[in-house]
Amino acid sequence: MKTTKRFFTYGLLVLSMVFTSCSKDGDIGPQGEQGIAGQDGNANVTSVVLRDISLPSNSTSTFNVPELTQEILDEGLVVVHINLNTTASFELWSPLPVELFNEIVRVRQIRVGEID
C-alpha cells in the first residue's frame, strides 16, 4: 500500500510539473545579422565494399582496393569498417579496430591500392 501511495504521489508531482512548466512561446524576435561566409566544404565520398572475405585467425591479410589513390592518401581520409555478420535482420558495421572472440581486427597499413 505504501508503494502504491508513493508511486501515485510521485506520478502526480511529475504530471503537475509537466503541465505547469510548459508555456506558449512569445513573439518571434528580430532577424540577426548575416554571418561571415565560410569556406565551401567537400562532399566527395567514395565507398568501397569488399564482400565474402574471410579473416583467418592470427594472420595478416592484404586487400586490393584499386580506388585507393595517392590523392586520397595525401588529401583524404580512409575509414575501415567491418560487417560483423550477425544473425540479426540488419547488418552491423563496426569501425576498426574491433575485438572479435579475443582477437583484435585492425588495419596495419594503408597504401595506394591496398589495405593490410
25 versus 114: the higher-pLDDT residue is 114
- The answer to whether the pTM exceeds 0.85 is no
CA distance 24 to 36: 33
Say whether pLDDT at 1 is over 70: no
- Do residues 55 and 104 make contact, with C-beta atoms less than 8 angstroms apart? no
State pLDDT tens for residues 6-42.
Answer: 777 877 777 777 777 766 777 888 999 999 988 887 7
Helix/strand/coil for 22 = coil
- Do residues 90 and 103 make contact, with C-beta atoms less than 8 angstroms apart? no
* Grid cell in block for residue 99: 575485438
Determine the average pLDDT of the residues in 68-94: 80
CA angle (12 as vertex; 8, 18 as ends), nearest 5: 145
- For all residues of the chain together, what is the average pLDDT? 80
The enclosing H or E element of 106 equals none
